[in-house]
Amino acid sequence: MRIQITYSDKFQCNWYHCQIKNERFSSPRKKDVEEWRDDKLVNAEYYNELQVLHDKAMQHMYNTNPTNYTGD
């Protein structure tokens, strides 16, 4: 949840990054990254509920798929 700073030669500016679980957000504006991080922390229960629903939907899709598609 730490904000990291790198320099982008392409854009000639600092670039800010933050990673929470498997999600990463990057922006040239530190304020945007701080807002994203704070939203993820304040609404963590909501995002966890979305992840559970997503996992259940994917499980259902793989269990009922007639072509045996496994995502590989």
Q: pLDDT per residue over 30-67, tens digit each? A: 999 999 999 999 999 999 999 999 999 989 988 887 77
Can you give the residue range of the structural domain that contains 41? 4-64
For residue 70, being part of any structural domain is answered with no
Maximal C-alpha separation, the chain: 50
For residue 21, being part of any structural domain is answered with yes
Q: How many other CB atoms are found less than 10 A from the CB of residue 38? A: 11
Closest by alpha carbon to 3, among 47, 27, 13, 12? 27
Number of domains in the chain: 1
For residue 40, being part of any structural domain is answered with yes
pLDDT score of 66: 75
pTM of the predicted structure, to 2 decimals: 0.76
